[in-house]
């Protein structure tokens, strides 16, 4: 029986990434407040937020400094925009701050309100750049199977997940996908990580040659895949991919929406993995999720093209109302100040080995095939048979059941396609809270194993 609040929700809201049919019966988990790494539902029950919301609340909940920064800016200048040459102090200062933090040469910053908007802008500016350079055929965008880059028409086309394409008439023409760099699931028998990486680089090169290098504009990749399964790349992967991109003058775009601002123990995931992108997209943790804000880095060659085209066309015809919103920028500035002052990024580097050790230990569980990650992000895969890596039928919903058991244990994690379970806690999580997280996840796995037996799922295989 749904509560009054849950019933009102079901009758008024459409929830993203939700089975809207079964949801009418189950209803929502209604959260009321949060503090630190904990959130509390409408009945006052606490949950350790093991997904940092949606990979974003890096500083945890109810950080008073961020609340105060928003309040101060709201009282001073709650809104203005950056259209037609207008500006404001928070946007200027934040752009300066981000330029200094960027791990790649950066001329300018362009602000958006989300990661989807940031990656959509990357596509548009890549096309715009090649038009400016007199290369109108060089427009195709390559991403990876299981990569996630957003839900606009363009970014959902880049995303390599079936649910983002099925019955949406996507991907659009000109968006191509290469293999997923998941060694556990896609490597051949006996294939080392380095050999697997080389095979994926060869596959990318073959695709570029087949399509024609003069038609391929950009390659887009997350340092660690997020919604595709919390998948860390195999050894040598990005170095081998980079060599192919350099060879054919293909622009490299790093989607840092999840990995940016400390998640891997460096300011950006590109630094942790030796990536050399031409541009990167950011969002989420730039404000610790407290305000919607995203953006991209603009390199000098791209900036020169924008200036040239503005002279030719009379304007730079792109932007949204909330690009560089002053309250969001003020919160981002305070967020970055806290990251620096409290050495949050260094703290992640210190905690990551312990976090990864607790994660890796779950690989010994009878129903876990892989448990691996990087920094304070990790994914595990539930399998029916560890030796063959055989999976349960998708319709069984085993990972979804595990996540439900975790919630019953007072832990919020997320299930992803392929019976993957993702873990991505706030960066401020303590060692004791890491223990609490994995103790509860371990009990959820135990309950899942018992449920599998009670449902006879193994017998059905």
Domain boundaries, the chain: 4-62+343-455, 66-341
Is residue 448 within 8 Å of residue 405, measured between CB atoms?
Answer: yes
* Structural contact between residues 284 and 260, judged by C-beta atoms closer than 8 angstroms: yes
First-to-final CA distance of the chain: 34
* Of the candidates 114, 127, 91, 82, the residue with the CA atom closest to the CA atom of residue 282: 114
Q: Alpha-carbon distance 119 to 60, whole Å? A: 26
Pairing of strands 38-41, 46-49: antiparallel
Which residue is associated with the tokens 């691996």? 372
CA nearest to 384, candidates 359, 404, 371, 366: 366
Give the Cα separation of 81 and 84 in Å (integer): 9
**pLDDT value of residue 460:** 62
- Burial pattern 284-294, b for ≥16 Cβ within 10 A else e, equals bbbbbbbbbbb
104: nearest Cα among 282, 268, 219, 294: 268
Tokens, residue 311: 């002279």
Tens-digit pLDDT profile for residues 315-352? 999 999 999 999 999 999 999 999 999 999 999 999 99
CB 27 within 8 A of CB 9: yes
CATH architecture of the domain 4-62+343-455 equals Alpha-Beta Complex (3.90)
Of the candidates 368, 373, 349, the residue with the CA atom closest to the CA atom of residue 232: 373
Q: Is 193 exposed, middle or buried (0-12, 13-18, 19+ CB in 10 A)?
A: middle
C-alpha triplet 452, 456, 461: angle, nearest 5°:
95
Is-contact 228 148, C-beta < 8 A?
A: yes
Q: Which helix (H) or strand (E) segment is 98 a member of? A: helix 89-101
pLDDT value of position 461: 61
pLDDT in tens, 167-219: 999 999 999 999 999 999 999 999 999 999 999 999 999 999 999 999 999 99
**CATH among 3.60.15.10, 3.40.640.10, 3.40.50.1000, 3.30.1300.10 for 66-341:** 3.40.640.10
At 370-410, the pLDDT tens digits run 999 999 999 999 999 999 999 999 999 999 999 999 999 99
Is 1 a residue whose pLDDT tops 90? no
> Helix and strand tally (H, E) in the chain?
16, 15
Q: How far is CA 365 from the centre of its chain?
A: 27
Four-point Cα dihedral 193, 196, 197, 199, nearest 10:
160
Tell me the mean pLDDT in the region 271-276.
98
On average, the pLDDT of the chain sits at 97
Helix (H) or strand (E) holding 101: helix 89-101
Q: Are 406 and 441 within 8 A, CB to CB?
A: yes
Contact predicate 351/434, CB 8 Å: yes
Closest CA to 224 of 125, 146, 299: 146
Query: What are the phi and psi torsion angles at 48 (to 5°)?
Result: -75, 120
How are beta strands 368-374 and 377-382 bridged, if at all?
Answer: antiparallel
Q: Using CA atoms, how far apart are residues 293 and 291, in angstroms rounded to an integer?
A: 6
Model confidence over 20-74: pLDDT tens digits?
999 998 899 999 999 999 999 999 999 999 999 999 999 999 999 999 999 999 9
Q: CA-to-CA distance for 174 and 166, rounded, in angstroms?
A: 17
Asked whether the predicted pLDDT for residue 110 surpasses 90, the reply is yes
CA-CA distances (angstroms) from residue 302 to 96, 155, 308, 383? Answer: 18, 20, 10, 46
**What local confidence, expressed as pLDDT, does residue 458 receive?**
87
Place of tokens 């400094």: 65
Q: What is the pTM of this model?
A: 0.96
Euclidean distance between CA atoms 136 and 158, whole angstroms: 20
CB 416 within 8 A of CB 230: yes
């Amino acid at each position: 029986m749904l509560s009054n609040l849950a019933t009102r929700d079901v009758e008024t809201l459409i929830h993203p990434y939700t089975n809207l049919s079964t949801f009418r019966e189950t209803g929502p988990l209604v959260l009321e407040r949060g503090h630190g790494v904990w959130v509390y539902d409408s009945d006052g029950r606490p949950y350790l937020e093991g997904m940092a919301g949606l990979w974003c609340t890096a500083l945890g909940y109810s950080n008073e400094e961020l609340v105060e920064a928003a309040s101060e800016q709201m009282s001073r200048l709650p809104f203005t925009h950056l259209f037609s040459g207008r500006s404001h102090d928070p946007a200027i200062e934040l752009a300066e701050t981000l330029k200094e933090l960027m791990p790649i040469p950066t001329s300018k910053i362009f602000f958006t309100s989300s990661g989807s908007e940031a990656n959509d802008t990357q596509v548009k500016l890549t096309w715009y750049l090649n038009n400016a350079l007199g290369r109108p055929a060089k427009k195709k965008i390559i991403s990876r199977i299981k990569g996630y880059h957003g839900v606009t028409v363009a970014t959902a086309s880049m995303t390599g997940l079936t649910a983002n394409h099925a019955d949406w008439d996507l991907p659009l023409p000109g968006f191509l996908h290469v293999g997923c760099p998941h060694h556990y699931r896609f490597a051949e028998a006996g294939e080392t990580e380095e050999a697997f990486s080389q095979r994926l680089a060869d596959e990318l090169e073959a695709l570029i040659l087949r399509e024609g290098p003069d038609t391929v504009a950009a390659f887009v990749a997350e340092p660690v895949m997020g919604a595709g399964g919390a998948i860390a790349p195999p050894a040598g992967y990005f170095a081998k991919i980079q060599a192919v991109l350099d060879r054919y003058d293909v622009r490299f775009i790093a989607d840092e929406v999840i990995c940016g601002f400390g998640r891997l123990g460096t300011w950006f995931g590109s630094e942790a993995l030796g990536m050399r992108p031409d541009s990167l997209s950011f969002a989420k943790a730039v404000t610790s999720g407290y305000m919607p804000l995203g953006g991209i880095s603009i390199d000098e060659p791209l900036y020169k093209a924008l200036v040239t085209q503005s002279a030719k066309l009379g304007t730079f015809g792109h932007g949204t109302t909330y690009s560089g919103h002053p309250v969001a920028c003020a919160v981002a500035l305070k967020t970055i100040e806290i990251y620096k002052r409290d050495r949050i990024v260094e703290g992640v580097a210190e905690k990551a080995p312990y976090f990864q050790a607790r994660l890796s230990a779950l690989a010994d569980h009878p129903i876990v095939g892989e448990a691996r990650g990087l920094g304070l992000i990790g994914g595990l895969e539930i399998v029916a048979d560890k030796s063959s890596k055989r999976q349960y039928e998708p319709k069984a919903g085993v990972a979804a059941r595990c996540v439900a058991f975790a919630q019953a244990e007072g832990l919020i994690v997320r299930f992803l396609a392929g019976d993957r379970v993702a873990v991505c806690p706030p960066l401020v999580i303590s060692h004791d809270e890491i223990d609490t997280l994995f103790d509860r996840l371990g009990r959820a796995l135990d309950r899942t194993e018992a449920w599998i037996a009670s449902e006879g799922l193994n017998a059905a295989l």
